[in-house]
Amino acid sequence: MTKDIATPIRTKEILTKYGFSFKKSLGQNFLIDTNILHNIVDFAEINENSCAIEIGPGIGALTEQLAKRAKKVVAFEIDQRLLPILEDTLSPYSNVKVIHQDVLKANVREVIQEEFGDQEDIMVVANLPYYVTTPILMKLLEERLPLRGIVVMLQKEVADRMAAGPNTKEYGSLSIAVQYYTEAKTVMTVPKTVFVPQPNVDSAVIRLTRRSKPAVEVIDESFFFEVVRSSFGQRRKTILNNLSHNLSKKLSKEQLLLALEAAEIAPERRGESLSILEFGKLSDSLYKINN
């Protein structure tokens, strides 16, 4: 039996053996707590019929736990220095493939097709580098990949924003973008002490369960997101002020007032008080007036 990678002693041994030094620019923080990894795999409900995609496997701590339970694991690693380490640490597992590529530039749909074929139970499970969490997740959601869901560890503050509901200070355009595609739930908080090197902030694990159809049906999706972003331009301003400021090239104040009235939204409300359904109504009535 090989000892788990995610223990302080084994991690240190691996790093020393390869003379590995952390790159701040890649946001590398390795987990050294096996129980947390077990919990992450549990939250993702990985079993022998599941396929997993991992992003940023590091030295393979989470990859190993996924490989023990999943049918197949495909991991995207951007740092070339980690490839020989992963080849070593993951050698006991024949169901793992490491792809040396930046996931933001990768054709993930094609990789899913090639590696998993017609498998239906596909999850993304990862301890994401904090500096690119949002672009990675938005890419996975916007491309509408055939995923059951996503379970990732990320900065607690970002997880709170993704899972936030209306009338909270965390609620904003990111909350709506994520919840448009998925049901979002923070399932676990993770202290900074279980990483090497220790990050400056606490982390959280969020579970995003893909919706069969978006949370709200809108006429024009990209316009909907533009309206949402415009409504949160400056948080202290009313929805009318924010929209006037950000959509003035497209719509006059009179048109905005008409659209707000049609959507039954008082112009003095603030963006953070609107539910995703209200944003849907508003964007559709603005769209109709504009076209």
Q: What tokens appear for 115 in the block?
A: 């590696």
Binding residues for S-adenosyl-L-methionine are: 29, 31, 56, 77, 102, 127
Q: How many other C-beta atoms are found inside a 10 Å radius of the C-beta of residue 206?
A: 27
Instruction: Tell me which residue of 55, 71, 170 sits closest to 106, measured CA to CA.
Output: 55
Distance (Å, whole) CA 237 – CA 73: 47
Binding residues are: 29, 31, 56, 77, 102, 127
Distance (Å, whole) CA 14 – CA 67: 19
